[in-house]
Structures are given as structure tokens and as C-alpha cells.
Amino acid sequence: MRNYPTVLAALLLIGVNTNVAAAADPVPYPTGYREWVHVKSMLIEPGHPLFDSFGGLHHLYANEQAVQGYRSGLFPDGAVIVFDLLTPISADHAVTEGARKVLGVMFKDSRRYAATGGWGFEGFVGDSQTERAVGDKAATACFGCHEARKDNGYVFSELRP
């Protein structure tokens, strides 16, 4: 029988964030997303209302089904959108890309994620493919804002020409 310190050590070893409960249907890490279509980018600076959560330079990437969704307005199941948030490095009159802060993911499965507009939401911390920042908090931490974009398939971004 394991005691608490042993269980805690085991959790730490496998990289589980003990503050985040696992979601019933966890969103998979978006393997290969760096070769997907680059949707658009934005730099969020201090003073912006979303700075605490999303401050930095972010890029959005879309897999083929998500590109289809951006173009048609209807995101099919299997669509995945990635929000790649990097630490901005301001120096010598330029902003360049630093370390990854978090990799946000929206994964469309209208059955599994019916409670949150058909989208599963997750955030992978830094470069980790296993450490999750959202877990079972998607309804409040993510969908609370995305819900306002119902007429756009719950997606904020648009595909830049």
C-alpha cells in the first residue's frame, strides 16, 4: 500500500500537474503542428486585458480540417487550431521570439465536447507534451470567452490572406 509522499513523488516523476484534474476526454498533443498552415500572429503587450494569460507573441496554426473551417465558416470534426505563445524578446529596436510559454489547442469533436461548443480546449506548458494547464477547467477557463464567438464557430481568429 502506497503512502501519500510516495504517490506524490510518482506524480511528480510522470510530470502531472497536481493542480489540474484530468479531463474526461483529454485533448491530444498536436503532433506536427509546426508544419500546418500559419493562420495569423499577434503581440500582446503589458496593459492588455489578456496580458496575464496570453502576454507575448503568438502564432495560430490550423490543420487541414481547420483551414476548411476558416474558409467555410463551419469547422468539421477533426479540426485542430493551435495557439503557440512565445516569450517576446525586445532588444535593439526589434522583437524576436523567445521560449515557448504555452501551446494552446482547440480540438473539434462535436460529440465528446458538446458541452463546450464541440471544442475541446487544452494548454501544454512550455515545450511539454504532457504537462496540462487546462484539464477539466475548459468550460470556465476557455469556453467562457469563446462562447461569445458562437457565430464564428467559437473561433476568434480569421485566416490572414
Query: Rounded to an integer, what is the distance from CA 79 to the centroid of its chain?
Result: 13
Q: Closest distance between its own copies and the C-beta of residue 90, in Å? A: 9
Q: Is 130 among the residues that bind its own copies (CB under 8 A)?
A: no
In angstroms, the CA 78 to CA 60 distance is 17
49 strand-pairing partners: none
Question: Contact with its own copies (CB under 8 A): which of 26, 29, 53, 59?
Answer: 59
Query: Rounded to an integer, what is the distance from CA 89 to the centroid of its chain?
Result: 21
Question: Contact with its own copies (CB under 8 A): which of 2, 93, 111, 150?
Answer: 93
Q: 70: which residues sit within 8 A by CB, 6+ positions away? A: 39, 62, 155, 157, 158, 159
What number of other Cβ atoms are within 10 A of residue 96's Cβ? 12
Q: Is 114 among the residues that bind its own copies (CB under 8 A)?
A: no
Question: Contact with its own copies (CB under 8 A): which of 12, 15, 34, 139?
Answer: 34
Q: Is 129 among the residues that bind its own copies (CB under 8 A)?
A: no
Question: Contact with its own copies (CB under 8 A): which of 19, 31, 46, 115?
Answer: 46
Nearest to 120 by CA among 146, 151, 85: 146
Q: Is 1 among the residues that bind its own copies (CB under 8 A)?
A: no
Task: Give the interface with its own copies as residue ranges (CB under 8 A).
Answer: 34-35, 37-38, 40-48, 51, 57, 59, 61, 67, 92-97, 127, 160-161
